[in-house]
Amino acid sequence: MAPPVALTIDGRAIQAAPGTLVIDAARANGIEIPAFCYYKGLSLQAACRMCLVEVAGMPKLMTACTTIVSEGMVVRTDTPQVAEARKYMLEFLLTNHPLDCPVCDKGGECELQDMAFRYGAGESRYTETKVHTPEKQFSPVVFYDAPRCILCFRCVRICDEGMGVKALGVINRGVTSEIAPNHGDHLECDECGACIDICPVGALTSGAYRYQTRPWEMDHVGTVCAHCADGCTTTLGTRNGRIVRGNNRDRSGINGEFLCIKGRYAFDFNDHPERLQSPLVRRNGKLEEVSWSEALATVGGKFKAALEAGGAFGVVGSNHTSNEENYYLQKFARQALRTNHIDHHRTGDVVTLLDALAPRTGQMATFADSYERQAILIVGADLALEHPLLSYQIRANYRHHQARIYVVTPRPVREDNYAAAVQRGADYASLRPRLQAEPELVVLFDDSVKGDAVRKLVEFGESLGIPVKYVCLVDYANSRGALDMGVTPELLPGYQLSGQPGMRLDEMMAADLDVLWVVGANPLKNGAARKAGFLVVQDLFLTETAAQADVVLPAASAYEKNGTVTNATGEVQRLTRAVETMGAKTDLEIMGFLAREMGVAALLGPWSPSAVWEEIRSSVPGYAGGRVPVEAKVEAVRSDHNGLFASGTLGRYSKVLHSVVESRQGR
């Protein structure tokens, strides 16, 4: 590694790696240089001139965001000349700015407001009428108010470079310059809201949040997105018991500030008017509202009677409930109900992958691998639509590290635009010569590769003679956790063989079970009729399955509970309760109360999330792998292939997702 460069900033001796920008060297040493257009991770723009500094020997002030450190450089950020330059730049930026902070969504979080306060003049010398243009709506999600725009081009760059969408550009010249959408007057884009989030002022605002509240009136709760399996952290802004905003501006979690439309806006399913708020019991063919105690007594009594009569139980777990809930559910099924008929909707063949790799455990790629490894092979998946964060991360790997991306998909995908090689179809083997020449590889594959095809893929990886890691893509927020926690007949928590026969999900749905207990899933969504003698469903909504139940128990959403979930790349992350819905209980509470009704609570142990988590930690081995029976059926492994504007059952109850889909249909 090249030796560091020595320089001084404001009289302080500083060392920085060669190639470091002065602004970064200063910030790394606690010296703040104001900036609007500079944004770490995006290309340089040098548009706003806020970052001007004095550099000894230079005739004029220099932009710290484009000046690279050099040996012996002497930089000053605190001279009268610099202060004056900042003041004049702010005066320019405010020339046509409307000063409507009291009604602007950004008020209280606005970088221009902060800078004007710290570096600006108390008054403007401009007396001319300000140029004004009316606000525009670019899409159901994105609104643009040109007079507030300071033309920093962050939005244009995040959309182009970060999202790979290129939906925003600039039109006109001089004071009439404006940001414009890619299709005349409207956007055709991912509707991710990244442009809104990154805008330093209130020029871009969101249809979902605007004019609802002020930042200081909200509580801010960090938790994990309830939708896909990528596992973004989201900060939910809540007010009066409602979620009003989702963002990740503190850049916590694996996603930094990234969120797709679902994480940023589709929290609105949570207070959909059709949320269940009371238990329902079927009487004379109709579901009627009853008290919790009556519903729990009905279910507990029925479970107990069926158990005593030697009845057959089936249990269906969820891709959305927490690890603690899935763990407790399988324990309930196996130890209290004495059944091994337990499964969930599997959306990727993680089980075969772990088995094909066994006994090696270090070849499951982490999320960080998708950003750090030098070559990526994508098999089958349309990442930009189905795994937006992984797509974003791989794009960043390409931009920041020049990673080579290899694409083997049936249809064109966004990754084609920067791929080292594209193969349409499924024939990844034809890329062998290119892949063999790589120093390392991460392979991501979807449900088009399952069963023996997974074993073949792993054999192919082995044959390359380079370190290879894998990601088996799964659909939902806790798809991976449901597998990890043993919600399958063949495997116990931690992928230990159960050694017991048990029905898979499709077999349970076709069987004449005495009792079927469905926790957070909708296996009858395709309209099939139930077969079980007694059906209990825990869910947020009256789904197709719940509508056929004998008892429906209203469940809390992921935003209403504590616990953990595990994303597609195996990171275990913490859920934190942000709000509550009257009448609903968490699935763990419901299971705990049912255990008490049945007199098996002592057998199953405490049911608080922290107690169950401790039990998981102490009793579940790591992903040790084990030989999975070769006859394991994989036909039922099926991804829902949700695009950006769908999210299984939850997506059906999101107004924001509907509004985007409808706006496109209307064109």
Chain positions contacting ligand SF4, by CB under 6 A: 142, 149-155, 158-159, 163, 165, 167-168, 179, 187, 189-195, 198-201, 203-204, 225, 227-228, 230-232, 259-260, 262-263, 388-389
Q: Strand 375-379 relative to strand 441-445: parallel, antiparallel, unpaired?
A: parallel
Long-range contact list for 501-505, CB < 8 A, 24+ apart?
Answer: 501/340, 502/339, 502/340, 502/341, 502/342, 502/343, 503/314, 503/341, 503/343, 504/343, 504/633, 504/636, 505/316, 505/343, 505/344, 505/345, 505/346, 505/636
CB of 321 to ligand SF4, least distance (A): 16
Shorter beta-carbon distance to ligand FES: residue 50 or 457: 50
Answer yes or no: are the C-beta atoms of 330 and 339 closer than 8 Å. no
Answer yes or no: are the C-beta atoms of 426 and 450 closer than 8 Å. no
Q: What are the angstrom distances between the C-alpha of 281 and each of 88, 290, 292, 537?
A: 70, 7, 10, 11
> Quick one: which of 656, 663, 667 has its CA closest to 260?
656
Of the residues 14, 42, 51, 413, which one makes contact with ligand FES according to CB under 6 A: 51
Query: Two tokens at 576?
Result: 């934190």
Residue 155 touching ligand FES (CB under 6 A): no
CB of 301 to ligand SF4, least distance (A): 40
Query: What gap in Å lies between CA 489 and CA 498, rounded to an integer?
Result: 7
With CB under 6 A as the rule, give the number of residues binding ligand FES. Answer: 12
* Tally of CB atoms within 10 A around 88: 14
CA 395 to centroid of chain Cα atoms: 16
* Tally of CB atoms within 10 A around 59: 6
CB of 390 to ligand SF4, least distance (A): 8
Of the residues 18, 19, 40, 46, which one makes contact with ligand FES according to CB under 6 A: 46
- In the chain, how long is the greatest CA-to-CA distance? 93
**Interacting partner of 46 out of ligand FES, ligand SF4, none (Cβ under 5 to 8 A depending on kind):** ligand FES
Query: What gap in Å lies between CA 203 and CA 528, rounded to an integer?
Result: 49
CB of 603 to ligand SF4, least distance (A): 36
Shorter beta-carbon distance to ligand SF4: residue 115 or 165: 165
CB of 188 to ligand SF4, least distance (A): 9
Residue 358 touching ligand FES (CB under 6 A): no
**Interacting partner of 227 out of ligand SF4, ligand FES, none (Cβ under 5 to 8 A depending on kind):** ligand SF4
Of the residues 6, 17, 47, 611, which one makes contact with ligand FES according to CB under 6 A: 47
The span of 35-43, 80-88, 192-200, 311-319 binding ligand FES (CB under 6 A) equals 35-43
Q: What is the DSSP letter of 95?
A: S
Shorter beta-carbon distance to ligand SF4: residue 190 or 268: 190
Shorter beta-carbon distance to ligand SF4: residue 78 or 100: 100
CB of 255 to ligand SF4, least distance (A): 6
Of the residues 24, 38, 141, 142, which one makes contact with ligand FES according to CB under 6 A: 38
166 dihedral zone (left: phi>0; alpha: psi -120 to 50; beta): left
**Interacting partner of 165 out of ligand SF4, ligand FES, none (Cβ under 5 to 8 A depending on kind):** ligand SF4
Site of interaction with ligand FES (CB under 6 A): 35-38, 46-51, 63, 65
